[in-house]
Amino acid sequence: MRKPALDARAALGLIHHGPVVLVTARDGRRTDIITVAWVAPVSGEPPMVAVAISPRRFSHGLIRRSGEFVVNVPSSGLLAAVWLCGSLSGRDTDKFEAARLTAARAQSVGAPLIAECFGHLECRVEKRVTAGDHTVFVGRVVAASADRAAFGKHLRLAAGSHTLHHIGGRRFLTSAGTVLEAGKRAPRRRR
């Protein structure tokens, strides 16, 4: 059966189901948080991850200058903070303050952890690759931590560790199968 053709840019949505993460970066003077849906493990030995970030983003310059970043894994309960950190620029806004998130000291890098996230991968940049309109930063994981209730050898799909997966626009799917819409308020109860 022949399937209808798709625009190649729109078709990328077929594979955008990895977890949405909050990447933190610090260049010594400034700190930022960026919401990233394009993140992937790329090596088991040594452990490495790749994040794709547009050069137009404030965090891009921080990572390029510092050579470090942290991949913070938020639970679905942090949807409002995830949306805010992806909607505002760190050039003009302290996203930790705006999203009411807590910066915590990392073990091995200068970029902070986000205390409210259940997992953290501290990375040093090994390679940068220009890929169209984004830079792929390949980072070696130099330290990692996670809440025991959320992660053992594998992700535990407990209520506090349901990951978010961007499915387009303001829509996210949790690892529990619930569709959430960012910025949508809960309906008011009638009195």
Tens digit of pLDDT for each residue in 153-184?
A: 777 777 778 889 888 889 998 988 899 999 86
Q: Is residue 59 part of a domain?
A: yes
Q: Distance between CA atoms of 165 and 21, rounded to whole angstroms?
A: 9
Q: Distance between CA atoms of 118 and 73, rounded to whole angstroms?
A: 6
Q: Is residue 170 part of a domain?
A: no
Host domain of residue 129: 17-146
Q: Is residue 121 part of a domain?
A: yes
The CATH number linked to 65 is 2.30.110.10
Work out the number of other CB atoms within 10 angstroms of the CB of residue 149: 12
Q: Is residue 90 part of a domain?
A: yes
Q: Is residue 9 part of a domain?
A: no
Tens digit of pLDDT for each residue in 11-59?
A: 666 666 679 999 999 998 899 999 999 999 999 899 999 999 999 999 9
Q: Number of folded domains in the chain? A: 1
Q: Is residue 10 part of a domain?
A: no
Q: Is residue 44 part of a domain?
A: yes
